[in-house]
Amino acid sequence: MKRRTFLHTTALATLAGQVDALRAATADMRIKIGACDWTMKLAAQPAALDLAKRIGLDGVQVDFGGTPNAQGWLPLFDEKLQDTYLSKSAELGIAVPSLALAVLNGVPLKSEPAAEKWVLASPKVAQRLKSRCVLLAFFGKGSLAGDEAGIEKVTGILKKLAPLAEEAGILYGIESTLKAPVLETILDAVASPHIQVWYDVANMEKEGEDYGEAIRRLGKERICEFHAKDFEGLYGQGNIDFGKMRDAMRDIGWLDAWVHIEGTQLPNGVEADVRYDAEYLRGVFAG
């Protein structure tokens, strides 16, 4: 065999082997791709579902909104707004698999009575919207990093939340900069399967955590959903290895999960770049 023919044949065989390996790694995975409505610049706005439909997403993670009304309630507590989401979701075939209380970044759960009120009232909203999980955010003013008193306060509130979440059939996910061992301490103290972790690979990579090993350590029983994110660029062009994320998810049996795009890099605009990131993730998780 001529050298050029040999090299070409070898390259084709290598590529075929890589494709076969990818298919083998993902053949039993049924990952659904959504996006956060705040990434789409439509937080707490049903128009996010229309945009998701145009992009080709499976669903949208919906935020409760950040500005309380005169009675002190966030927008998503309004049943009329909930009805709009329900009807639009049915019409478009776009799911609302999860909600988020991003407002806790500025109105900390560890110190603000209003935050506790919203959190304890949220299970009924999630139940009515047929959403499986609710994200509890702990960044900015709400950060728990190095704050033992704050962790103790939040743990106490999560213990109150747990029976309400169980009654409603809702999971809650802690999203924070806390690494897996600290999160395990909180979850052990709360001792409820309805209080879990919302895992964001880019946030934790930034904190120096090996996200593959952390996902395996926490396991399927302690992770409710995932954020896909890359601070350095569009997916596949930054520093996050989404194949590593996929492999860890598969290892813990997370075969039928939602992965939500939380983009920080949108140089070409929301619609173009969320579509790009979604298509990239579908390639990573393709069977």
Tell me which of 25-29, 162-166, 279-283 is least confident.
Answer: 25-29
Residue 163, pLDDT above cutoff 80: yes
Query: Higher model confidence: residue 60 or residue 3?
Result: 60
Residue 18, pLDDT above cutoff 70: no
Q: What is the tens place of the pLDDT at every residue in 97-137?
A: 999 999 999 999 999 999 999 999 999 999 999 999 999 99
- pTM given for the model: 0.89
Mean pLDDT of 226-234: 97
Query: What is the pLDDT confidence band of residue 5, given thresholds at 50, 70 and 90?
Result: very low
Domain ranges of the chain: 21-285
- Give the pLDDT of residue 15: 41
Residue type, 243: G
Mean pLDDT of 85-90: 98
Residue 167, pLDDT above cutoff 60: yes
Contact 124, 101 (CB under 8 A): no
Q: What is the CATH number of domain 21-285?
A: 3.20.20.150
What mean pLDDT is reported for the chain? 92
Tell me which of 14-28, 63-77, 148-162, 234-248 is least confident.
Answer: 14-28
- Give the pLDDT of residue 29: 80
Tell me which of 111-115, 261-265, 278-282 is least confident.
Answer: 261-265
- Give the pLDDT of residue 69: 97
Tell me which of 24-33, 182-191, 248-257 is least confident.
Answer: 24-33
Token pair 């609710």 is found at 134
Token pair 């989401």 is found at 85
Mean pLDDT of 247-270: 94
Residue 9, pLDDT above cutoff 50: no
Residue 184, pLDDT above cutoff 90: yes
Token pair 């140089």 is found at 267
Residue 14, pLDDT above cutoff 70: no
Query: Which residues are within 8 A (CB) of 156 and not within 5 positions of it... i.e. 6 or more apart?
Result: none
